[in-house]
Structure 1
Amino acid sequence: MREAPYKPTKNIVLSLYYAQHQSPMPPLLLFFLSILFLFTYSYSSSESIPFRSELEVNLLFEGWLMKHNKTYKENSFEKAKRYDIFKDNLRYIDEHNGGNHTFTLFLNVFADLTVEEYRDTYLGSLPPLPKETVGSNSDIYNDNFDDFGSEIPNSTDWRASGAVTPVKHQGACFCCWAFAAVATVEGINQIVTGELISLSVQQIVDCYSKSCDRGYIDDALKYIRRNGGIDSDVDYPYNATYEQCDKKKEGKKVVTIDTYQHLSENNEPRLKMGVAKQPVAVGIHAYERAFQLYGHGIFTSKCGTRIDHAVTIVGYGNEDKLDYWIIKNCWGNFWGEAGYMRLERNVESIKGKCGIAQYPYIPLKKKKASSLE
């Protein structure tokens, strides 16, 4: 049962006025009202499920289109289809946000996609092959934190330490696995050298994968090690599609790693130790609609453990007695908390929330001895 009806805002009253007087709303006014109302919606929450008129939903949709610079090539059928999907997602968001949860949903960049479309377009990480099938070409598969000591920080955020580059967007290329791996190499390079360099995912797509197909986190790290390094994103920029490998740029080893490690599986305490030392690449199950439309807060929704996406853990913490991981995604700034999610930590399942503890990887890079020593 719905609670008290939603009270129209001034924007909606104006819309109704123009509608009742059968007078078209001036385009400039529609533009400002749509944007204003979208941002009013985006940064407020309601304790009850609001009743939304068709005019209100339409304003939200038009504002959302402008905010995300979305067009449908003047295809009225496609726009009508997207509007219906948007409206259904808005209903789902309102129902969730009207309840008592640790996180809110949001009209983010995926608000005009069904959950099936979202999955088919943006989820592209594969779980590693069984270790016994890897063969003699494998790299190091163990972890060793004996040198860490007994003091592990209660919270860590590598963004604050300058070891995390700005959030990127994979687009329609299934290379989240490469983004996650590259983010860990950027992180360890900054930790060791003090220099934060944005690195080339496009190089991995062109020169290793030779496609935009789904892939494995460890393969990206393996490629970087065996290639002797990786070029910068500035020199070899990302374009969300496969192109022929630029061999000249592939030869520019701007950042190198010594090797990589597969950390202990299904062990959140060990994973915490890893993240306390450096960013960690992991696979997760991101299929759920709540994950698609995540906006803010600690994600505690039910999710599976079948890996279909890859992200980078860049920290961890606690809020209101609830532990969480900080994960960096590759869906741009208009998803989640400016491209990040806080995901529940220390759950009952040994696999972690959404399977996050199953397949963690880190690159290794040693400090080079000074020539003066």
Structure 2
Amino acid sequence: MAISFITIPLLTLSVLLLSLSLDVVTATDSQRNEAEVRTMYEQWLVKNGKNYNGLGEKERRFKIFADNLKSIEEHNSDPNQSYQRGLNQFSDLTADEFRSTYLRGKVEKKSVSDVEERYKYKEGDVLPDEVDWRERGAVVPRVKAQGDCGGCWAFAAVGAVEGINQITTGELISLSEQELLDCDRGTDNFGCTGGGAVWAFDFIIKNDGIVSDEVYPYSGNDTAACKAIEMTTTRVVTINGREVVPENDEMSLKKAVAHQPITVMISAANMSDYKSGVYKGPCSNLWGDHNVLIVGYGTSPDEGDYWLIRNSWGPGWGEGGYLRLQRNFNEPTGKCAVALAPVYPIKSNSSSNLLSPSVFKLVLLLAFQLISLALL
């Protein structure tokens, strides 16, 4: 009997230690004491590389962290929730701080001529039950992170261009968000302080292409002068135009996503600590504030239809950097306004004003051979 009395407390202690996981915060029957929360906080600080310099800032951030943790655990204790929340790099921020830094998407201006019939859903259209452009090789495997720069618009636009380029040429090339942040500084896009994907497409068209992030890497700020002016020979990808999916029409959006990744605006103010599952709110269904990229759709047996969305908050957020958002919502704009402003780039198969890197090398080799033969 003595052994059993010792074993029970040891098992209880083991369960408590397991519950301190920083990746997924599960529900607890009783409120955590302050010592437990402080232990989690210290572990979280190390994991996320946080170091506060201001006097009293660490303690102030601890209180915010504790409040966020309590809210997460209360949410996760509800068996009726369709998604789970968890700690991540945003767990020391208030809701206002998160919105002011990371939600800088702007609603795209549109005209009647922008909205095309290309992907308009018509009765009788047969669409696949599920699509995942990651499996088809049209999505860069590395989930990118915008950091403390409000450049979501650049990441969403670049992702769409990467996708359509791979679909039409067979080559997946990781492109430069930093070029857009530094160089697309007109009347609509403002670097880290906000912008829209549709205007980024316009810049790429006018600029005769965009360079790779290998030659123009991401810095996470927009304080440098544009370096792409002299990079005309390294513009590896072009697009021919851009169009808008018919608005407030999830079936047309589904048809579009079946053909290529699509940029959208969503209302993301309450998604800072999303961890997994199909997100069904809370959010505004009338207004978006964050540019993201839809790379597919599907259906969960337990949680229903969803959009598969690639975010730009790094792989530590959500499902490895991805969000599953409720699809077939009962409002025209879709859940979290996903169907309000979908846009996409156009690239024709015959587009050859810029050659892909492999074809370019082949052309150079052929040219050298012809020159050598001419000199003989």
Give yes or no for contact 1:173–1:212 (8 Å, CA) kept in 2. yes
Query: Within 1, Cα distance between the matches of 2:267 and 2:351?
Result: 41
Answer with 172-181 or 270-279: which moved more.
Answer: 172-181
- CA–CA distance in structure 1, aligned partners of residues 33 and 212 of structure 2: 49
Which residue in 1 is equivalent to 2:74? 95
Post-superposition CA distance 1:134-167 (Å, at most 9, x none) = xxxxx84313148999431100011111111121
Other structure's SS at 1:272 match: helix
- The question of 1:160 aligning with 2:160 is answered no
Deviations 1:257-294 (A, max 9, x none): 11111110000000000000010000011112xx1110
Counterpart pick for 2:291 among 310, 314, 336 = 310
Q: What residue is the counterpart of 2:221 in the other structure? A: 241
Partner of 1:354: 336
Give structure 2 stretches of 5+ with no counterpart: 1-10, 353-358, 360-376
| Alpha-carbon offset, residue 175 of structure 1 | 1.4
Of the candidates 234, 247, 254, which is equivalent to residue 272 of structure 1?
254
Which residue, out of 210, 213, 224, partners 1:230? 210
Which residue is 1:120 aligned to?
A: 100
SS in 1 for 2:264: strand
What is the TM-score of this pair, normalised by structure 2? Answer: 0.83
Given that 2:19 and 2:25 are in contact with CA atoms closer than 8 Å, whether structure 1 keeps it comes out as no
Quick check: 1:319 aligned with 2:300?
Answer: yes
- Size of the aligned set, in residue pairs, is 332
Q: How far does residue 70 in structure 1 lie from its aligned partner after superposition?
A: 1.5
Distance 1:175 1:111 in 2: 20
Cα shift readout 1:224-275 (whole Å, capped 9, x = no counterpart): 1111110001100111111101111366321011111111000000000000
Shift in Å at residue 37 of structure 1? 6.2
SS at match of 1:203: helix
Matches of 1:122 and 1:174, distance apart in 2? 5
Distance in structure 2 (CA, Å) of the matches to 1:335 and 1:258: 33
| Aligned equivalents of 1:213, 1:164: Cα separation in 2 | 26
Q: TM-score when scaled to structure 1?
A: 0.83
**Superposed displacement of residue 41, structure 1:** 5.1
Counterpart-to-counterpart distance in 1, 2:15 and 2:248: 51
Note if contact 2:24-2:85 (Cα within 8 Å) is conserved in structure 1: no
2:200 is aligned with 1:200: no
Map Cα deviations across residues 84-111 of structure 1 (whole Å, 9 max, x no partner).
Answer: 0000000000000000211000001111
Q: State the identity as a percent.
A: 42
**What is the RMSD computed on CA atoms of the aligned residues?**
2.4
Question: What are the ranges of 5 or more consecutive residues in structure 1 without an aligned counterpart?
Answer: 1-6, 13-32, 133-138
